[in-house]
Structure 1
């Protein structure tokens, strides 16, 4: 997998970033996250991003019931690669993950949306395409995924996903599966794609087993 010609260079990554706090929404480097944006402050944020580099970040709130909620310390910068307007005033956006970053000081609100200082240093490797193979135990992953899907009544195009390259497969499943927000955050913070693949398989197994026992993962 080669880097997109449109991908920003490390030196060009913004040091002040608008953030979209959304519980359970995971964006990973190289992944694609569809968003349905309708709140006025996030419409403003998106229009501002479209006029200046097309970038904002996805971040998870630690306590969605609190306003404003404390934020997790690691987020992922995204770049708008597609957008469309709807007749009822929404924006349909696809965000491509660029790089994770450490969240620094929170800046004053701007047009109602939140902004933070970003430190990309620990995640400079996110701009390098991952290896084609991650040492993934594909049979083990699919066994865990099928059990998880059965317990949570999820459907997948099994033939299609069996042909997906390992990095894209891990990203897509990590982003799509309905894990708990803390589990999504753990997937985001995994140091390497290989470690994320291992964690993903473990979470699928735990999710299938806990659902079978009538519990939930913690």
Structure 2
């Protein structure tokens, strides 16, 4: 594991390695963060807000997240700053501090990814579903190659990202270490999203 110090952007979404993250930025602290990251070529960290709807309590965030690299930015029609970022590496937060402008900073440890694993035949239906997603959303994944559909880790991350799962489910799948365990859990929940047969 390697340790680093990055700005933190808690969100009500789970970012996966290789994932696509479009954002509209309007708070000054995050405008400053984008300027800093693009100027230095560094990443920021995305982690899931733990209690966004808790009344009277400050929102907290989970410790495991994903670093995000900004690869495009522009001024949107409404005048706000729009960015497109790509998920890179999973991390765990060791310590947080807050800058005077309210921006959270975190000491993190990068979590090592398991060695690549070929997709076993019993999960081929999952690769087929991801392939269909890529036909529709391929512009958001310019680095996509058909060979990616044979990578168990990549298929698991994309399906976790693109299926309409609850955020707590996506977070659990993000934190799993074993790609095949992630695929098995995704296969188990797949019937939830299949239309019932009509007679």
| TM-score normalized with structure 2 length | 0.74
Q: Distance in 1 between matches of 2:166 and 2:50?
A: 12
After superposition, the C-alpha distances for 1:153-212 in whole angstroms (9 at most, x for unaligned) are xxx947938x6614444322211222111101011101033322222222333x348x98
Q: Distance in 2 between matches of 1:159 and 1:189?
A: 24
> Which residue number in structure 2 is paired with residue 108 of structure 1?
98
Q: Does residue 1:165 correspond to 2:136, yes or no?
A: no
Q: Does residue 1:58 correspond to 2:46, yes or no?
A: yes
CA RMSD of aligned residues (A): 3.2
Q: How many residue pairs get matched?
A: 182
Q: Does residue 1:202 correspond to 2:185, yes or no?
A: no
Deviation at 1:87, TM superposition (A): 4.3
After superposition, the C-alpha distances for 1:10-52 in whole angstroms (9 at most, x for unaligned) are 86x7x212111111x2222223322232333322221221122
Superposed, which structure 2 residues align to 1:38-77 within 5 Å? Answer: 38-66=26-54, 68-77=58-67
Q: Distance in 2 between matches of 1:20 and 1:44?
A: 12
Distance 1:92 1:204, change over 3 A: farther
**Aligned counterpart in structure 2 of residue 193 of structure 1, from 149, 159, 179:** 179
Q: Distance in 1 between matches of 2:47 and 2:134?
A: 32
After superposition, the C-alpha distances for 1:87-122 in whole angstroms (9 at most, x for unaligned) are 4332332222221111111112352222211012xx
Q: Distance in 2 between matches of 1:101 and 1:158?
A: 27
Q: Distance in 2 between matches of 1:159 and 1:77?
A: 22
Q: Distance in 2 between matches of 1:39 and 1:104?
A: 25
Helix, strand or coil for the counterpart of 2:99?
A: strand
After superposition, the C-alpha distances for 1:56-93 in whole angstroms (9 at most, x for unaligned) are 01100110124532211211111112222224332332
Q: Does residue 1:125 correspond to 2:113, yes or no?
A: yes
Deviates more, 1:196-205 or 1:48-57: 196-205
Structure 2 residue runs of 5 or longer lacking an equivalent are 137-145
Structure 1 residue runs of 5 or longer lacking an equivalent are 1-9, 146-155, 213-218
Q: Distance in 1 between matches of 2:43 and 2:163?
A: 25
> Which residue number in structure 1 is paired with residue 160 of structure 2?
174
Q: Does residue 1:31 correspond to 2:15, yes or no?
A: no
Distance 1:183 1:159, change over 3 A: closer
Distance 1:74 1:136, change over 3 A: farther
